[in-house]
Chains A and B, each alone.
Chain A
Amino acid sequence: MPAPEFTSLTVGDVVAERSFPLTRDSLVRYAGASGDFNPIHYRDDIAAAVGLPGVLAHGMLTMGLAVQPVVDWAGDPGRVTDYQVRFTRPVVVDPEVGAVIAVTAKVGQLDEAATVARIDLTVKLGDDTVLGKAQVRVALA
């Protein structure tokens, strides 16, 4: 798949946007795939017992899905050279209605010499930002 052309990018461009509806099923699926079986991600009674507002999505699930619009835009997961996030707010996943995570990916910085674009992610649950300093470095031609 062809990579986006580095020279066609401008800081501030929105390169991808996508929403991810999470349900309890999504959490169980991620638990199995990742091996993270902490019960706060699938049991209401345990989440309540440790003082949480409800069952939470794995932070690593949120981090994992948030980068996917960038992977699709870049055309190849191998073009991602660095990815970092800060976990700023928990994602509560309601047993009936779930939770919708909205991702916007914007060009944050362009390294001309290396032809690496830093793509900054805004990751929200309703009006709340759930990942801070979410940055993906993508090597382009």
Chain B
Amino acid sequence: MPVNPELMGRVFPPTEPYLVGREKVREFARAVFATNPINLDPEAARAAGYDDVVAPPTFPIVVQERTLAQLLSEPDVGIDFSRIVHGDQRFSYTRPVVAGDQLTATLTVSSVKTLGGHSIVVAESEIVDADGAHVVTALSQLVVRGDE
């Protein structure tokens, strides 16, 4: 089943707020081999001008993932999870994510294309803080393999 072309431009409701915990940031930092004290030590983070430990650059995937779950659970999308390959990923930051942030993500399907039996879906998740200020936009290109 091909991906529904009418998905293009669809905007999803904002996700439930995600509270970024200090220990979660540390756990994620260790998992991606981050050794910078600003990622791990609140004192070092404060000395650098932040309120608390700073998350590694790819941490927003944890919040973006919730928007991708929204996309895949839509009844009319036609995306078979087992056929998805992650093509590209991009993060564009206004500022880094810091422990204590309460983040909300809004997904827009910015492009749906068909290429040689495969569908390419671009999912753009805009992540804002509790004040509604932009933190980071996470962009995933998902390649959905066609029937062999």
Q: Name A residues whose Cβ lies closer than 8 Å to a Cβ of B.
A: 1, 20, 26, 29-30, 32-36, 50, 59-61, 63-65, 67-68, 71-72, 75-78, 80-87, 133, 136
Residue from A50, A68, A76, A84 in contact with B88 in the complex, judged by beta carbons closer than 8 Å = A84
Q: Say yes or no: A67 contacts B39, CB within 8 Å.
A: no
Whole-angstrom distance between the alpha carbons of A65 and B56 in the complex?
9
- The number of residue pairs between A and B whose CB atoms lie closer than 8 Å in the complex comes to 108
- B-chain residues with CB within 8 Å of residue A80 when the two chains form the complex: 57, 93, 96
Whole-angstrom distance between the alpha carbons of A82 and B95 in the complex?
10
Report if A59-B57 is in contact (Cβ < 8 Å); known contacts: A29-B30, A29-B31, A30-B32.
no
User: What interface size band does chain B fall in?
Assistant: 20 to 34
Q: Say yes or no: B87 contacts A86, CB within 8 Å.
A: yes
User: Which of B5-13, B58-66, B106-114, B118-126 faces chain A?
Assistant: B58-66
The A-contacting residues of B in range 25-77, CB under 8 angstroms, are: 27-28, 30-36, 38-39, 48, 50, 54-58, 61-62, 65
Q: Say yes or no: A84 contacts B54, CB within 8 Å.
A: no
Whole-angstrom distance between the alpha carbons of A85 and B48 in the complex?
28
Top-10 shortest CB links A-B: A64-B32, A33-B31, A84-B90, A64-B58, A78-B96, A30-B31, A33-B28, A65-B33, A33-B27, A29-B31
Report if A77-B36 is in contact (Cβ < 8 Å); known contacts: A33-B30, A34-B28.
yes
30 interchain pairs, CB-CB under 8 A: A1-B38, A1-B48, A26-B31, A29-B31, A30-B31, A30-B32, A34-B62, A50-B82, A59-B86, A59-B89, A64-B32, A67-B56, A67-B57, A67-B58, A68-B32, A68-B36, A72-B35, A72-B36, A77-B39, A77-B56, A78-B50, A78-B96, A80-B57, A80-B96, A82-B90, A82-B91, A83-B58, A84-B90, A86-B87, A86-B88
